[in-house]
Structure 1
Amino acid sequence: MQLPLFPLEIYVLPGGISKLRIFEPRYTRLVKLAMAASEGFGVCMKDGDTLCHFGTRVIITDFEQLPDGLLGITVKGVEKFLINKHWKEEDGLRFGDVTPMSNWTPAEIKFVDRDISNSLKALFEEYPEHAAQYPIPDYNDMTWVCQRWLELLPLETNQKQWFMSRSDHRAALSFLHNVIDEQLNKDL
């Protein structure tokens, strides 16, 4: 599959929602291409000037004119992908030949994992502007909870790429237990 690529500093995983400002002509073209095709486009991270290996195919779910006159779009993550090769066209827009990867299977929350879900819920309550992006949060799906945490945490690019390469949520869950359990113990 070929997709136009949008290299960003943000991390979007399947089910993730993000708002983007479009101001460069090449990305206006990307939006037009994404609206004309059902595939959407790819969001991928950069490590310095190098495009990372993994990204997420997103679709545009909403758009608006921002107060500064620029185009604002809301995107939702659909599936992860591996970039096999990529190239840049004359206007600077990147394209990639990508292979879709399986999404993490939804997983019912276990009793031992409730603190991770409850901490995300508390964070969303503290920051309602972020929670507003998720009108129907799924705090009972550990995969959904892990993906939202990974999007929010200030991790290094290589760490985020490593989690993206995993076939399920278990590595992320183990990592989150270390981070959140440690924080909860400090708060006691």
Structure 2
Amino acid sequence: MTKLFPLPLFLLPGGRAKLRIFEPRYLRLVRECSANQEGFVLAMMQGKRLYKYGTLVDIVDFETLSDGLLGITIAGRQRVEILSTDQEADKLWVGDIRALNDWPHDEYLDDDQADDKAHIAAGLKHVFAAHPEHAEQYEAAPFDDLTWSCQRWLEILPLSNAQKQWFIAQESAEEAKQFISQLLEEEVE
């Protein structure tokens, strides 16, 4: 069974985030995942149950924070469907998961799609410039990758958990691209 970490944080493949770890069950999760060189699933909760979709993440860095707590940096690897869940004695969530295919990347675009790509990338660059805490997660942000840019937008937009679950369940970035393009057009008007 895969370890599950319920957080209100939404992360998709290619995304990165920093976490503060202090609860004993999550310290165990980090210790065991690191020792076994395996990832864990970042999952969202609805009440006392986990949502159906999450993201398998890898721990890519560790640090001791100024308050003495453990800090980790995680990177999204793959979208997953959570098939079943259970809690261990210390209340750590575990579950059976099924890997979902990655969203296709945009190798061939027509002129309209290229315009959307440029508009979405420019908007994301503007957000990263205004909020360097997002930008600092990425050494070289591939803004020219439409799928990557759409995934980063979905992570930072103030969407409901139900909306996030709907987007993560999609088979491509197409719905996200249309949604983000529409938001950016409305912002300009």
TM-score interval for Structure 1 and Structure 2 normalised by the shorter chain: over 0.9
In 2, the alpha carbon distance for the partners of 1:90 and 1:57 equals 23
How far residue 135 of structure 1 moved from its aligned partner, in angstroms, is 1.1
2:114 maps to amino acid: F
2:94 counterpart SS class: strand
Alignment partner of 1:177 out of 174, 181, 185: 181
In 1, the alpha carbon distance for the partners of 2:70 and 2:87 equals 23
Q: Return 29-38 or 15-24, whichever deviates more.
A: 29-38
Q: Which residue of 2 aligns with 1:13?
A: 12
In 2, the alpha carbon distance for the partners of 1:38 and 1:67 equals 26
How far residue 130 of structure 1 moved from its aligned partner, in angstroms, is 1.6
1:40-119 paired onto structure 2 within 5 Å: 40-108=39-107, 110-113=113-116, 114-119=118-123
2:115 maps to amino acid: V
How far residue 97 of structure 1 moved from its aligned partner, in angstroms, is 0.3
How far residue 129 of structure 1 moved from its aligned partner, in angstroms, is 2.3
Q: Which residue of 1 aligns with 2:157?
A: 153
2:178 maps to amino acid: S
In 1, the alpha carbon distance for the partners of 2:89 and 2:7 equals 20
How far residue 86 of structure 1 moved from its aligned partner, in angstroms, is 0.5
How far residue 181 of structure 1 moved from its aligned partner, in angstroms, is 0.9
Q: Which residue of 1 aligns with 2:24?
A: 25
Count of matched residue positions in the alignment of Structure 1 and Structure 2? 184
2:175 maps to amino acid: A
Q: Which residue of 1 aligns with 2:133?
A: 129
How far residue 36 of structure 1 moved from its aligned partner, in angstroms, is 1.7
In 1, the alpha carbon distance for the partners of 2:13 and 2:26 equals 21
2:140 maps to amino acid: I
Structure 2 length-normalised TM: 0.94
CA deviations over 1:110-151 (Å, ceiling 9, x no partner): 432111110000111111222010111111111000000000
What 5-or-longer segments of structure 2 have no aligned partner? Answer: none
In 2, the alpha carbon distance for the partners of 1:174 and 1:112 equals 12
RMSD of aligned alpha carbons: 1.1
In 1, the alpha carbon distance for the partners of 2:146 and 2:85 equals 33
2:18 maps to amino acid: K
How far residue 39 of structure 1 moved from its aligned partner, in angstroms, is 2.6
How far residue 47 of structure 1 moved from its aligned partner, in angstroms, is 1.6
CA deviations over 1:75-101 (Å, ceiling 9, x no partner): 000001001100000001000100000
Structure 1 length-normalised TM: 0.95
1:132-143 paired onto structure 2 within 5 Å: 132-143=136-147
Identity rate, percent: 45
